[in-house]
Chain A
């Protein structure tokens, strides 16, 4: 079962992905399996396309739902659906692609999303501190980086500016 950083701890991840980002699968399956056995899974994190095309079936299915988005995803397509999602995963195709930082902040700040906000994709441990401050409370890194990523959450002890994630529990 894959591991994830959540609320400051390294824990097992019980969510499965449906139609996950391609780059993510490639990076993630390096050593660990990405999927949780079906009987243990809490729910499914689906792609935006999948959600848009299977919305009725998914809502009827009685499983917990999550959705993954990309930096350029059009939030207006799902704004009214946000309450259906327990998890929103934001995919970072490259660690230098910072759109997800703004997407996360917007979800928390502009759209008041209250569920789990997780960062997935190509991330450096060095980015954990920033992710947390942008409202993320969960992140997936390469398995070898997990421990270091958790430690990097405390890189700084003081911030100059306000940010939307400051009231969050630890990432």
Chain B
């Protein structure tokens, strides 16, 4: 994993000092509220409904054990004993006090962490595939490119005061697990027919009030031009993006208003002028970046014998079998597996993790996965390098720590925003809805039978939980001061094994419902699916496929009957 060099340490240190001076000037009145606001946001500090909120960067989701332990310590000492994993793979403290923020930042700096550019109108944390480097369907390991873009975008002098926030995601596998179609820029690493690495560049995706699937600006950008091309896109956006209305300021609106053809042309023109001014990424640069993510010392494992043993254990312990099926992924290296720890047991606010749990994760990572973990867009945690001979022991540990709910990719693996309980912008609460659904559907056999299905809940149209791209989306709306929920069907962010599907934005089922009707509505939707799905031998048609085949009207009739 990437370790800081002396420059990173110095830069983070200098940034902490700069922010201390800014905070001091704010306190003495030298900086006004209005002036301090963007400065503190770019250092991750929000002010929320009950308290400030500090968002901590986890570059492309990777964390080491000492970072997990430090987070546990920080949660205990400065917060209420837990933190939150966001859908952009970051960590969030929901209850720190402002006066503690400098101490928190300085503690974080000891373990090479910070909160730079986690908020504000700048380039945010780069997100990626939690299975990068280990996925069997990987074309190119995205992590070195993530690190290159992370460095490039950190304190970039030209792009710190953009019209609006700017999010970049990078994936490198056939299945896109990084939701690249729903980012301001999505990079899909690919190889051309000669094996040269490059990327397909998507631009202008995003959700929020105006959900849009990204368009392609470049089908194959050779890797050496990555940074000058990003610079060209951002420069066009920075100069032309709207600044008169914050709801129209994202790059997606610019792309929509200009049209992708004109936008691409503007980028191309800018790029032709600048591409030779910037040093291209040399093979040496790329090899160096790859070196940060060197292969851990894997053991030689006889995959077929361990496979048999696992099958045997799965038969003997059905619960283990289910866990293997849902929470464990195949791995590039024979005999290894990538395991997802579920942070979605019933009764837990999705994505919340306590100090004790962080320590357990650290322990598990240390003993079973070379000391590293990855946070995921679905707000879970992946341990990417577990020896399959140790899976059963691992499972027992995970189970006693409450991480082994075998529900990854199922209905109860809900993505949920903080909603009305914490967020000042909310129209409605979201966590209680998630809890209600989790407790209604905690029959594992039923969940299994439903198979792959995603359900996301956002408390307002800012769409922090990406409800548009869930198979079932729930959105909090305000109707004359009362909390209502609108349901959408058929969304897909192409990230849950549904490789044969294109990214899609869900369609509205019909008029919104009060909270107490939601369980019934979800039940109708699921029953409709079960009634209509094709079942042939072992094949069960997925929710999304059934929806696409039978269409919205059938669901509508049942729900509003």
Contact = CB atoms under 8 A, between A and B. Distances in A.
Contacts of A31: none
A75 B537 CA distance: 66
Contacts of A156: 11, 14-15, 18, 155
Interface in B245-275: 270, 273-274
Contacts, number: 96
B155 A109 contact: no
Contacts of B151: 160-161
A126 B10 contact: no
Contacts of B31: 124
B159 A158 contact: no
Contacts of B279: 162
Contacts of A109: 273-274, 277
Contact of A163 (B7, B39, B158): B158
Contacts of A96: 38, 121, 161
B239 A163 contact: no
B154 A160 contact: yes
Contact of B238 (A98, A155, A162, A163): A98
Interface string A70-101: 01100000000000000000000001111101
A110 B270 contact: yes
Which of A72, A102, A110 has the most C-beta atoms of chain B within 10 angstroms of its own C-beta?
Answer: A102
B238 A158 contact: no
Contacts of A105: 158, 235
B35 A95 contact: yes
Contacts of A97: 161, 243
A133 interface: yes
Nearest to A125: B25
Contact of A124 (B35, B159, B162, B235): B35
Contact of A101 (B155, B238, B273, B278): B238
Interface in B1-35: 7, 10-11, 14-15, 18, 22, 31, 35
Given A99-B238, A106-B235, A155-B14, A160 B152 contact: yes
B156 interface: yes
A9 B488 CA distance: 60
A18 interface: no
Given A95-B161, A164-B277, A103 B35 contact: no
Contact of B157 (A71, A110, A124, A129): A129
B258 to A, nearest CB: 14
Given A95-B161, A96-B121, A126-B18, A161 B238 contact: no
Interface string A45-79: 00000000000000000000000000110000000
Given A96-B38, A109-B274, A160-B152, A130 B158 contact: yes
A165 B263 CA distance: 26
B115 interface: no
Contacts of B160: 98, 101, 130
Nearest to A104: B158
Which of A126, A129, A156, A157 has the most C-beta atoms of chain B within 10 angstroms of its own C-beta?
Answer: A126
Given A96-B38, A98-B238, A110 B158 contact: no
Nearest to A165: B157
Interface size class of A (residues with CB under 8 A): 20 to 34
B227 interface: yes
Given A158-B7, A160-B11, A134 B161 contact: no
Nearest to A155: B18
Given A110-B274, A126-B18, A158 B11 contact: yes
A135 B141 CA distance: 35
Contacts of A95: 35, 38, 161
Nearest to A124: B35
A101 B157 contact: yes
Nearest to B14: A156
B158 A102 contact: yes
Contacts of A39: none
Nearest to A130: B157
A71 B236 CA distance: 12
Contacts of B154: 160-161
Interface string B138-179: 000000000000011111111111110000000000000000
Contacts of A162: 278-279
Given A72-B239, A126-B39, A162-B279, A98 B7 contact: no
B239 A159 contact: no
Nearest to B241: A99
Contacts of B156: 161, 163
Interface in A103-132: 103, 105-106, 109-110, 124, 126-127, 129-132
Interface string A144-171: 0000000000011111111111000000
B231 to A, nearest CB: 9
Interface string B329-357: 00000000000000000000000000000
Interface in A21-39: none
Contacts of A126: 18, 22, 39
Contact of B158 (A101, A155, A157, A160): A101
Given A162-B279, A163-B158, A102 B18 contact: no
A96 to B, nearest CB: 5
30 contacts: A72-B240, A95-B38, A95-B161, A97-B243, A98-B159, A98-B163, A99-B238, A99-B239, A99-B243, A101-B157, A101-B238, A102-B234, A102-B239, A105-B158, A105-B235, A106-B235, A109-B273, A126-B22, A132-B157, A133-B157, A133-B158, A134-B157, A155-B14, A157-B10, A157-B14, A158-B11, A160-B7, A161-B153, A163-B157, A164-B277
List the 7 shortest-distance A-B pairs measured between CB atoms, nearest first: A98-B161, A133-B157, A130-B157, A160-B151, A110-B273, A102-B238, A101-B158
Interface of B: 7, 10-11, 14-15, 18, 22, 31, 35, 38-39, 121, 151-163, 227, 234-235, 238-240, 243, 270, 273-274, 277-279
Given A105-B235, A110-B274, A161-B151, 11 more contacts: A99-B243, A101-B159, A130-B155, A134-B158, A155-B14, A155-B18, A156-B11, A156-B15, A160-B11, A160-B152, A163-B157
Interface of A: 71-72, 95-99, 101-103, 105-106, 109-110, 124, 126-127, 129-134, 155-165
